[in-house]
Structure 1
Amino acid sequence: MRLMTTSRSISPWIWRRPDWPEGSLAYDARAVALDLAEAYRMHGILEGKAAAIGIGRTSQVALDALSDEVLATAAIEGERLSLDAVRSSVMRRLGLSTSGPINRSVDGLVEVISDATTATDTPLDEDRLCRWQSALFPGGTSGIQRIAVGRYRDHTDPMQIVSGQPGREVVHYEAPPSKDVPEQMKRFLTWFADTSPARASSLPAAGGKPNDGFARAAIAHLWFESIHPFEDGNGRIGRAIVDMAMAQHLRQPVRLYSLSRQLLTFRSAYYDALNSAQRGETDVTAWVQWFARQITAACHAASQVIDQAIEKRQFWEKHEGSGLHDRQRKVLQRLLDDGDGGFLGGLNAEKYMKMTGVSKATATRDLSEMVKGGQLWSEGVGKAVRYYISVPGWGHV
C-alpha cells in the first residue's frame, strides 16, 4: 500500500460527514466494555509479572520491546531496518554503551517513539509533530524523492492511499485537502489535550462520560490517520501518538509490549479496520473493539516473553553454584534463549563441538556432566542421543 496524489475523486469519507469529527468518533461504551476489560486484565497480568522479576527500563525485556516497536512500526510501512542499527540506537537512547552502527533515520525513529512515551506531560502541538516528522527524514527525502519535511503537506492534488499497478489503482482512502489540514489538526490537537487524563474529568467526551484511555488511543490514531497531515511518515507518527496516549493513561515507566508488532502481524486486517472506520457509520465502535483486541494480543505475547525470562531466571537460580564451565553456560543460555522446541532437532555432541570448539571427548564429558547435574536430560542411544534443557513444562516439540 502506498501514498499517492491523483486527480481522482472518491466519496464519501468520514471527514466529509456533516458531524465530523465529533459525531463520527463516538462509540458505544457498553458494546466495547468486554473487549476493553479483557485488554486491561491482560495488561494487569503483564504488569504483575514484570514487577515480580523487577524489570527496569534498561533490562533486556525492555530493550527488546522498544527495539521490536521500532522495527515493526517501520516494517508496517514496508521499510526494513537493520536490527543491529536499531539495537545500537535503542541502547544509546537508554544510556547503555554500544559500539554498534549509527543510522540517522533509525535514531530519528527511536527518538520519536521515546519522546512520545517519556515526555507524556509535554503538550502535543503542531511544532512537536513537525519535529517528529523531521526526525524521520533527516535528509529531507523519502527514498530518493524529496518531500515536505517539518511542515504539514501543502500540495493541491488529493492525498490518497492506493494499491495496485499504475492505471489499475484501488483507492483505499482520500484525506482532506491540504488547505484544510491546519484547521483539521487544530481541532484534533485541542481534542487530544482536552481528553488527556489530567483534563478528561472536567471535559467529558460524547455521552457525558470521559473517554476510556484505550478507547482514546484508538480514536486518536483513527482521527490522525484520517487527516493524514504530512506528505510522508503519517503511519509512524500516528502509532507514536497511540504510544503517547497509552503512556499518558497507564503511567508505565517501562515499555513491556509492542503494539506495532501485533499490527504488523495482522497488517492486512489493520488496514482493513482503519479503512472500514474511515468510510463507516456514524460511530467507531467496531474500530475501538478491534483495537482493544490488538492490545490484548500484544500484552499476551509480551506476557509469554516475560514467562520465558522468569523461566531463565529460575533455571539459573536452581543451578547456582553448580560449577559449570563457561562453555557449558554459553550452550545452556543458547538453549534457554531458543525456547521450548526452538533448538531444532535437539542438542548432540557434534553441535556442542561446533558451538564451543572442543574435542568430541570433551563434548561428551561436558554433556554427561550436565545430565548428571540436572541441567540437561537426554533420550536415544549412541549417535542418536539428543540432549534437551531441563525446564519444567517444556516439551521440546
Structure 2
Amino acid sequence: MATSPGNAYVWQLPTWPAWTYDTQALADALARARLQQGRVLGKAQAVGLAADAFAQVVNDIWVGEVVATAAIEGQQLDVEQVRSSVMRMLGIASAGQSSRHIDGLVDVMQDALHNYTVALDADRLCRWQSALFPGGTSGIQHIEVGKFRSFSDAMQIVSGRPGHEQVHYLAPDSRRVPAEMARFLAWFNASGGEDGIVRAAIAHLWFEAIHPFEDGNGRIGRAIMDMAIAQDARSGTRIYCMSHQLEQNRKAYYAALNAAQRGDGDVTAWVRWFADQFSEACVKSEAVIDRALEKARFWAAHAAHRFNERQCKALRKLLDAGDGGFLGGLTAEKYCKITGTSKASATRDLGDLLGNGALISRGIGKATKYYVNVPGWRQE
C-alpha cells in the first residue's frame, strides 16, 4: 500500500500561493551568487562574445545542459546526437544526425532563452510539452500531449515496487490546473521587479508544485528557470551550467524541492539552496570557458592538418573528457569502438595523429596508450 506524507502540501494551505522568504537570511547566498555571476560574465567578455572560442563555449554549455536536464529525469541521451542537434540550432552547417525528441528538447530550451522577452503563456508551454513527445508517447505509453493534464486520477510522484510505492508528492487535482496556471503565468509575467535569482527559484518551485502536464514537467520547469535567469541577465546567451549542477546534485535537488513543496510556504531554505547551486553553476561555467579556450588553441594549432571524420570524432571525445578525464588513455581498441572502424584503419589513423603532433603516446606494442597533446594536461 502506498504511504502518504504526514504534512500538508503548500497548495493545500489557505494562504496558497503566498510565498514568503527572509531577505536578510538570503543576503549572503545571493551576494555569493552575484559575485560568481560577475566573474563568469567578466571571463566571457574577456574571451569576446563574437570570438570563435566563445562560440565553442556556447556549444559546449548547450550540449552539457541538454544532456543534464534529460539525465535528471533518468534519460540518457546520445551525446553525438545532442551535439548535432545543438549545432543545427546554432546554424553550424556540419551538423550530423539527431532524433526528433532530442531536437524537440533543444527547441524548447532555445525558445526559452532566445525569446526570453516574449511573455509566457499557456499555449507556449503546451507547445513546449508537445515538442518533448513527438508521436504523443512517453516511452511506449500514450500521454496527453500539447495540453494540461485532464485525467481524473491523482497526479503523484512515486517510487518503489507496485503495491509498495512511496508517494513523494501529490499535485493539485487536474480540474484546478487551468486556474492555477493562469495565476502562475500572471505572476511570472508581472514579477520582473523581484530579485532575479529569487524569482527563478520561486518560478521553478511554483511550476513544479502545480505539475500541469502528464509528463515533461521537470524539463519544462527547468526551461522556465532558464528563461527567468535570462530575463534577469537581459541576455539569451546560454552561459550558465545550471542543469548540469542540478544533475550532479540530483538527490539533494529533489530533496530541496520536496521540502519546499510542504510546510507553510516559507521558501527561504529553498531559495538559499538554489542560489548556492547557481553560484556553483557559475564556477562550472568558468571551467567550461577555460576548457573551450584550450580546445580552440588545439584546433588552431592543427588548422593545417586535414583530419578525417574518424579522427575528428576521437579528438573531440578526448578534448571533451578534459584534463585527465579520459581514464586509461586511448587505445587502438577504444579507437575502433569510438569510430566504428577496423583495426587496420585505426592503426593508420593513430599513426597519422602521432605524426602531426595531435596525439602523444605512452607504452609500446599492445600496451600503447594515446593522449591528446594539450600542454599542461596530465598524460596518465
- TM-score category, normalised to shorter length: 0.7 to 0.9
In structure 2, the partner of 1:207 is: none
Which of 170, 175, 179 is the matching residue for 2:171?
175
User: Pick from 256, 270, 274: which aligns with 1:273?
Assistant: 256
**Contact 2:4 2:166 (8 Å CA) reproduced:** no
Deviation for aligned residue 1:355: 6.3
1:3 maps to which residue? Answer: none
% of aligned pairs identical?
A: 54
Aligned to 1:264: 247
Q: Distance in 1 between matches of 2:370 and 2:177?
A: 62
RMSD (CA atoms): 3.7
Q: Hey, what does 1:72 align to over in structure 2?
A: 68
Does the 8 Å CA contact 2:5/2:167 hold for their aligned counterparts?
no
Q: Which sits farther off after the overlay, 50-59 or 115-124?
A: 50-59
Runs of 4+ aligned residues of structure 1 deviating over 4 Å after TM superposition are: 6-11, 55-58, 312-317, 324-327, 329-338, 343-356, 375-381, 383-397
CA distance in 2, matches of 1:377, 1:98: 28
Residue 7 of structure 1: how far off its partner (Å): 11
Tell me if 1:357 matches 2:317: no
1:104 is displaced (CA, Å) by 1.7
Between 1:214-223 and 1:104-113, the stretch displaced more is 104-113
Structure 2 residue 106 is the aligned partner of structure 1 residue 110: yes
1:254 aligns with: 237
Q: How many equivalent pairs are there? A: 366
Shift of 1:356: 6.5
8 Å CA contact 2:3–2:166 kept in 1: the answer is no
Separation in 2, partners of 1:300, 1:21: 33
Q: Structure 1 residue 346: deviation in Å?
A: 6.7
Is it true that 1:304 corresponds to 2:298 in the alignment?
no
Indicate conservation of the 8 Å contact 1:181/1:229, yes or no: yes
Superposition TM-score, scaled by structure 2 size: 0.82
Quote the offset at 1:26 in angstroms.
1.5
After superposition, the C-alpha distances for 1:102-150 in whole angstroms (9 at most, x for unaligned) are 4221111111110000111111011111111111112111112111111
Question: Which residue does 2:28 correspond to in 1?
Answer: 34
Residue 358 of structure 1 and its aligned partner are, at CA, apart by 7.5
User: 2-side partners of 1:282 and 1:146: how far apart?
Assistant: 35
TM-superposed deviation, 1:380: 10
* Secondary structure in structure 1 of the residue aligned to 2:157: strand
Worse-matched range after superposition: 349-358 or 99-108: 349-358
1:219 is aligned to 202
Residue 48 of structure 2 is aligned with which of 47, 54, 60?
54
SS of residue paired to 1:357: helix
Equivalent residue runs for 1:350-389 within 5 Å? 357=348, 366=355
Structure 1 regions of 5+ residues with no counterpart? 1-5, 201-210
Structure-2 residue corresponding to 1:45: 39
Matched to 1:184, the amino acid is: E
Aligned to 1:162, the other structure's residue is in SS state strand
Query: What is residue 203 of structure 1 aligned with on the other side?
Result: none
Q: Tell me: CA distance 1:287–1:315, structure 2 relative to 1, closer, same or farther (3 Å).
A: same
**8 Å CA contact retained: 1:7, 1:158:** no
Residue 128 of structure 2: aligned partner:
132
**Aligned equivalent of 2:85, options 81, 86, 89:** 89
Instruction: Report matched runs for 1:159-238 at 5 Å.
Output: 159-196=155-192, 200=193, 211-238=194-221
Distance in 2 (CA, whole Å) between partners of 1:238 and 1:281 is 22
* SS of residue matched to 2:156: strand
- Quote the Cα distance in structure 1 between the aligned partners of 2:137 and 2:183: 29
Structure 2 vs 1, CA of residues 326 and 8 (structure 1 numbering), >3 Å: closer, same or farther?
closer
The aligned residue for residue 205 of structure 1 is none
CA distance in 2, matches of 1:108, 1:123: 20
- Separation in 2, partners of 1:125, 1:131: 10
SS in 2 for 1:161: strand
Q: Note if contact 1:349-1:363 (Cα within 8 Å) is conserved in structure 2.
A: no
Q: Write out per-residue CA displacement over residues 273-308 of structure 1, whole angstroms, 9 at most, x where no aligned residue.
A: 000011134310000011111111111112112112
Partner Cα distance (1:79, 1:60) in 2 = 25
Between structure 1 and structure 2, the one with the greater Rg is 1
Separation in 2 of the partners of 1:212 and 1:59?
Answer: 29
Q: Note if contact 2:29-2:275 (Cα within 8 Å) is conserved in structure 1.
A: yes
Q: In the alignment, is the contact (CA less than 8 A) between 1:74 and 1:236 conserved in 2?
A: yes
In the alignment, the residues of structure 2 paired with residue 49 and residue 386 of structure 1 have an alpha-carbon distance, to the nearest angstrom, of 35
Amino acid of the structure 2 residue aligned with 1:181: V
- TM-score, normalized by length of structure 1? 0.79
> Does structure 2 conserve the Cα–Cα contact (< 8 Å) formed by 1:10 and 1:174?
no
2:267 pairs, out of 274, 284, 301, with 284
CA contact (8 A) 2:85 2:95 kept: no
Task: Show CA shifts across 1:201-235 (max 9, x none).
Answer: xxxxxxxxxx2101100000000000111111111
**CA distance in structure 1 between the partners assigned to 2:145 and 2:334 by the alignment:** 52
Q: Deviations over 1:150-200 (max 9, x none)?
A: 11111222211111111111111111111111111111111101102xxx2
Q: Look up the match of 2:276.
A: 293
What is the one-letter code of the residue matched to 1:15? W
When structure 1 is superposed on structure 2, of 137-146 and 108-117 the one drifting more is 137-146
Q: Distance in 2 between matches of 1:35 and 1:52?
A: 26
Residues in 2 aligned to 1:283 and 1:315: alpha-carbon distance in whole angstroms: 50
**Structure 1 counterpart SS, 2:8:** coil
What is the CA distance between 1:81 and its match in structure 2? 2.0
The C-alpha deviation readout for 1:33-82, integer Å capped at 9, x for no partner, is 11111112112211222222224498222112112211111111112222
Partner of 1:101: 97
